[in-house]
Structure 1
């Protein structure tokens, strides 16, 4: 398994705005993918709810740290 990590330190208003935009776009993309799979009336999904909480937190401009980690497993997707 391979691990990739990125850490965003929020030390200024510009940093906070960049992190807010990043999280907004990730949330929107995830929400759209869930709608594509489950339809317009998709029930809340745990991952989406977690991203929603992060999105809401980044709307309050404050210093902090955003960490992103991707653990890539060996093998491909099932068809």
Structure 2
């Protein structure tokens, strides 16, 4: 019974992805859509810079934690 529900959910998910893809491609050719209005108001160079800075910060934090773990391992083995 559980397998049937999982299979039904997969089929529904695949169908919804297909419908969404058709909706996006059909509205992409329309002039003056809401998507065009939103993208015209967003400066993507600023967004790209912000995403890059956040990515570097996250990687720096992860490397900091890794350095602490490696230091602890070195102390324990010494």
TM-score (norm 1): 0.35
Structure number with the bigger relative contact order (C-alpha 8 A, sep ≥ 6) is 1
> Hey, which of these two has a bigger chunk of strand by percent?
1
> Hey, which of these two has a bigger chunk of helix by percent?
2
Larger Rg: 2
